Amino acid sequence: MISDSKKSIVILASGEGSVAQALIDAVTKPTGALYEHVKIARVISENPEAGIFRRARAAKVPTELIPFRSGDQRGAWEKELEETIKNINPWLVVSAGFMKILSPAFVNTFRIINTHPSLLPAFPGAHAVRNALAAGVHESGCTLHHVDAGVDTGEIIAERRLAIMPGESEEALHNRIKELEREMIVAGILSLVLVEKGM
């Protein structure tokens, strides 16, 4: 039975959901760091083929598809998404690999956090890992941040760092960063919960 004292979250994801899986495990498993504090009200995706649906259903987490069809009016799709989330009324919306840009009006309606595969403010945008390698930097990592109207410009909650290995491929680096993202998103949400509880 879910305790009413648990904070309700909505997860938005578009793809395989490997980062979201860490969050699902932390919430649904009795040994998870978020088990006593958080419940997942819904996992929402615009992609009917998203692997996150399989992961969520396996954990008995409610899911919802809000499809974005080619030729659709973006405003109508976003309005449907907004109304769905408003009806749920979550404490927090977690963007975990959600590949749609949301309007300033939308992001100002909810408390939204996002993980990004670079040490922001360096390398914002969709190709952060590739851009970091192209720039020849020796260090990268990931950032957990609040979502605002800009592109990866919101207030930073936490970061994790790693050294880039000589000759490392984009795929290999991205996979190592995802491991850090999985740890960071759980720890970051736990820290937000504990601050609100005064702990």
- Catalytic positions: 116
State the Cα–Cα distance between residues 129 and 140, nearest whole angstrom.
8
Give residue 51's identity as a one-letter amino acid code.
Answer: G
Burial of residue 156 (number of CB atoms within 10 Å: 0-12, 13-18, 19+): middle
State the Cα–Cα distance between residues 55 and 22, nearest whole angstrom.
10
State the Cα–Cα distance between residues 145 and 113, nearest whole angstrom.
6
Output phi, psi for 133, to 5 deg: -65, -40
Give residue 126's identity as a one-letter amino acid code.
Answer: A
Helix (H/G/I), strand (E/B), else coil: 75: helix
User: How far does CA 72 lie from the centroid of its chain?
Assistant: 24
Helix (H/G/I), strand (E/B), else coil: 123: coil
State the Cα–Cα distance between residues 19 and 48, nearest whole angstrom.
18
39 and 6 Cβ atoms separated by less than 8 Å: yes
